[in-house]
Amino acid sequence: MGILERFTDIVKANINELLDKAEDPAKMIDQYLRDMTEDLAEVKRETAGVMAEETRTRRMVEDNNRELEKYDGLARKALQAGNEDDARVFLSKKQQLAEKAASLQATFDAAHANAEKMRQMHDKLVGDIESLNARREMIKAKVAVAKTQQKVNEYASSADKAAGAMDAFSRMEAKADAMLDKANAMADLNEPPKDEAASLEEKYQASAASSAVDEELAKLKKEMGL
């Protein structure tokens, strides 16, 4: 049967393995649910058809068995009535039905096996869909937490880079301070030595100028009668 071949993977499929292969489980689980729900609808239709075939072949076996028993009973009655020729006819018919019974039983066995496989696929699909629905929000929550954790990790990495940049800046600043101190020291060394005599000369010149001002002020006050 084509339907059995098409859905063999459903029986063998492991939903955990499917989710493990998914790049984004939160999105893939919805897609799997949609696909499996569509599969379930088709499996239901096909299972109903296969089960109907099973019922039909069972009925054929039962009808044939009843016919076989009927002609066996007629043969017995014919013999009791002393009619061997009639009994022979009934037994011949019984023999034909017995030969047919083997073929009908084989047909029913195949239909029954197909129906069992379809029921297994149907039951597994129903169970997987129920399992997925039960785990759906939990899986999505885990995916959301995982994505948040990835962002946190990225921010932490950026913070580490910033800390490294600050350390580098501090080292450059210290180097700049050292260069400035060295430059100031060189400037001090490049200054010519001070002339002490010239410094003292400036001191006394300033003192003389101050005395001259004082004398001029006293003279002016005297003239003004102050």
Query: Could you report the per-residue pLDDT of 132-183, keeping only the tens digit for each?
Result: 777 777 777 776 776 777 777 776 666 566 566 677 667 777 777 777 777 7
pLDDT digits (tens, 9 = 90+) for 23-56: 666 677 777 778 778 877 887 888 888 889 999 9
Interval 65-101: pLDDT, tens: 999 999 999 999 999 999 999 999 999 999 999 999 9
The mean pLDDT value for 110-131 works out to 86
Cβ neighbors of 90 (< 8 A, separation 6 or more) are 71, 72, 74, 75, 78
* Torsion sign across C-alpha atoms 99, 100, 103, 106: negative
Q: Which pLDDT score, from 0 to 100, does residue 148 have?
A: 78
Instruction: Describe the crossing of helices 84-190 and 25-80 by its angle, rounded to 10 degrees.
Output: 170
Residue 154 or 15, more confident:
154
Residue 1 has pLDDT above 50, yes or no: no
3-state secondary structure of 192: coil
Quote the pLDDT of residue 42: 81
The predicted pLDDT at position 178 comes to 76
pTM summary value: 0.47
Lowest mean pLDDT among 2-6, 67-71, 201-205: 2-6
> Confidence band (pLDDT; 50, 70, 90) for 4?
low
Q: Distance between CA 9 and CA 49 in Å, rounded?
A: 20
> What does the pLDDT read at residue 201?
67
Please state the rounded mean pLDDT for residues 99-128.
88
Element spanning 26, H or E:
helix 25-80
| Contacts of 59-66 spanning 24+ positions with Cβ under 8 A | 60/104, 60/107, 60/108, 61/101, 61/104, 61/105, 61/108, 64/97, 64/100, 64/101, 64/104, 65/101
**Amino acid at site 212:** A
Sign of the alpha-carbon torsion through 54, 60, 64, 65: positive
What average pLDDT does the chain have? Answer: 77
pLDDT score of 188:
67
pLDDT at 60: 94
Sign of CA dihedral 73, 79, 82, 83: positive
Per-residue confidence (pLDDT) for residue 145, from 0 to 100: 74
> Would you state the pLDDT for residue 194?
65
Assigned architecture for domain 2-167: Orthogonal Bundle (1.10)
Confidence of residue 223 (pLDDT cuts 50, 70, 90): confident
Q: At 139, is the secondary structure helix, strand, or coil?
A: helix
Beta-carbon contacts of 132 under 8 Å, excluding residues fewer than 6 positions away, are: 15, 29, 32, 33, 36
Provide the residue ranges of all domains of the chain, joining segments of one domain with +. 2-167, 197-226
CA atoms of 204 and 201, how far apart (whole Å):
5
Q: What is the pLDDT of residue 158?
A: 63
- Terminal CA-CA length for the chain: 141
Decide which of 6 and 178 is more confident.
178
